[in-house]
Copies of this chain bind each other. A is one copy, B any other.
Amino acid sequence: MSYPAPLEALIDAFERFPGIGRRSAERMAFFALRDPRAKELPQVVRDALERTLRCRVCGNVGASDPCELCGDAKRDARVVLVVEEPRDVEAVERAGVHKGRYFVLMGALNPATGGDERSLNLRGLIERAAKGEYDEVILGTDPDAEGEATATLVLRALEKSGAKVRVTRLARGLPAGSALEYLHRGILEDAMNGRVELRTRPQSG
């Protein structure tokens, strides 16, 4: 079975997106053919590519450069949270748990393939750390294998740079609001290994 070449090209274009398989790409393409608003799609794509800026400071995408967060003088510029993706910035901002700056790596290393660390946005962070612009770098990569590998890479790069900076990572353990009985091995292992001292053993006598 073969579609007209332009339709095949559209299916191929959709299929290149992460998480989109051949079947989904076909469905998207057929939907585009019959959706009246699909006429606007070329312009929408063009606008997104041309009018979305990358912040020169943190690497995040936004409508301005520097972005709104890097330009906000009320935020603590000496504490930087390093995340993988722009969506992570959104999640942490929604939660309101960080009052410092962000740095967006725009990806993560794949520990199986070794990954391509050159594709990560990393240099600006290391340079600013080496210049002493930060008191603390918080590693906020995902709690999975890619995130671990990426955090290790960032830590090593910071050490190699000779930056005089404190490096921390977000706590791993039991997710608030959950129940022990439903949690899998990796979570329980983190929770056990990272357990927190509430009371040290009092000395006898």
Contact = CB atoms under 8 A, between A and B. Distances in A.
10 contacts: A92-B188, A95-B185, A140-B180, A164-B203, A165-B201, A171-B194, A173-B174, A175-B183, A176-B189, A177-B186
A196 interface: yes
B166 A201 contact: yes
Nearest to A170: B191
Contacts of A92: 180, 188
Given A91-B181, A181-B88, A173 B190 contact: yes
Contacts of A196: 168-171, 194
Contacts of A172: 171, 173-176, 191
Contacts of A176: 143-144, 172, 184, 186-187, 189-190
Given A94-B185, A155-B199, A192 B170 contact: yes
A158 B200 CA distance: 12
Contacts of A88: 180-181
Contacts of A200: 166
Interface stretch (A19-27, A41-49, A79-87): A79-87
Classify chain A's interface size: 35 or more
Interface of A: 83-85, 87-88, 90-92, 94-98, 135-136, 138-144, 155, 158-159, 164-204
A202 B172 CA distance: 25
B165 A190 contact: no
B171 A91 contact: no
Contact of A187 (B175, B183, B186): B175
B178 A144 contact: yes
A198 B144 contact: no
Contacts of A165: 199, 201
A142 B194 contact: no
B177 A175 contact: no
